[in-house]
Amino acid sequence: MRAPAASSGMGSVEAWPPDVTPAMAVADRSQRNDRQRAAQERRLARQAAALAKVVAADAAEPISLGSSWLASWRMAFYIGLTLSLMPVQLLLVLLRSRAAVRLPLFYHRLCCRIFGFDIRVIGDISTRQPTLYVSNHTSYLDIPVLGSILPACFVAKTEVASWPAFGWLARLQRTVFVDRRRGSSHQQRDQLQKRLDAGDNLILFPEGTSNDGNRVLPFRSALLSVAEARPHGQSLAVQPVSISYVGLNGLPLGHGLRPLLAWYGDMTLGGHLWTFCRLGRVRVVVEFHPVTDATAFASRKELTRYCLDRVSDGVSRAIAGLTGALSPVQSGAVKKD
């Protein structure tokens, strides 16, 4: 007997065939719903798999900023400039000419123009000679930036002397190579004492390695043993220096993009240099903190803490945009605040 179709204000109720019981109809409807859900889940799974392939392909494609043409132009000019001035600097070093100190200053300024650095200098640079400049270390790019401002020699680890090409450049700039292993602080001090007695300013990176540009690593007090030197019987002038990379193409350089300039960890030098050369103009803030005397501190650790506090504070303020505002500056120029 056919069940009658009932109706109400909510609509009609489905009529059952004569050979179908209400229980069978409910089971059949449940099966149809299960099949529809299964089909929908399969469609979603296929769409998710296709999306995953697209995402994986995009992730495998390296992020590329800037221009390869610009990188090629910069590298060509940099190599040409370097090769042309190397024989001149070698001759000046062999003749022990004071021009061997001035030529690197000129060379690094040209390099900064080639690489598109806009350098903002804050604070007063020490006029005492010799002076030990104590700076944080973010990248090999610190060398041309500081070298374009200061007539000074860098202090580097002994491994740098064996680097291809760059080791020769370091030697020609009269870099002082020191062994940073424990127990060699006395040898370091004696080696650096000779340079200070000769009136050479020195640039020291007491972190002992480079950082990611977003923070300053702890300073090693052993590397500041040179501060105990007394050139010509007088206290050594020590000036903390903060160097910060804060802008790219007129925009603030955020936390995530700063590794484009910072060179640290297991980054390869060649690959990092090529990536950097593709970029546009880079804003750098270099802050010179008040000069102090090494003898003003009771111990080397206190001097180390003083320098670290000043340098860290300068970096924090610069990357936060509190110093070195992004006003227009001629590319490669050094502007004094």
Three-class HEC string of 118-174: EEEEECCCCCCCCEEEEECCCCCCHHHHHHCCCCCEEEEEHHHHHCCCHHHHHHHCC
What does the pLDDT read at residue 301?
Answer: 92
The residue type of 78 is Y
Count of CB atoms within 10 A of residue 123's CB? 19
Peptide bond into 104 cis (omega under 30): no
Contacts for 149 with CB less than 8 Å, ≥ 6 apart: 119, 121, 125, 286, 334
List C-alpha distances in Å: 224 to 63, 84, 154, 202.
40, 36, 14, 12
Most confident of 24-33, 144-153, 251-260, 269-278: 144-153
What pLDDT score was predicted for residue 8?
45
Average pLDDT rounded to a whole number, residues 99-125? 95
pLDDT value for 323: 80
pTM for the full predicted model: 0.76
Predicted local distance difference test score (pLDDT) of residue 267: 86
Strand partners, 282: 117, 248
Topology of the domain comprising 69-336: Glycerol-3-phosphate (1)-acyltransferase (3.40.1130)
Question: Lowest mean pLDDT: which of 83-92, 250-259, 263-272, 318-327?
Answer: 318-327
Residue 246's SS3 state is: strand
Domain ranges of the chain: 22-61, 69-336
> Each residue of 116-156: pLDDT tens digit?
999 999 999 999 999 999 999 999 999 999 999 999 999 98
CB 262 within 8 A of CB 279: no
The size of the chain, in residues, is 337
Instruction: Using only the alpha carbons of the chain, give its radius of gyration.
Output: 32
Q: What pLDDT digit, counting tens, does each position of 175-185 carry?
A: 988 876 665 55
Pseudo-torsion of CA 97, 102, 107, 108, nearest 10°?
130
Report percent pLDDT > 90 for the chain.
45
More confident residue, 59 or 249: 249
Provide the β-strand partners of residue 284. 119, 245
Is the pLDDT assigned to residue 282 strictly greater than 80? yes
Q: What pLDDT is attached to residue 54?
A: 56
Is the C-alpha dihedral spanning 88, 93, 99, 104 positive or negative? positive
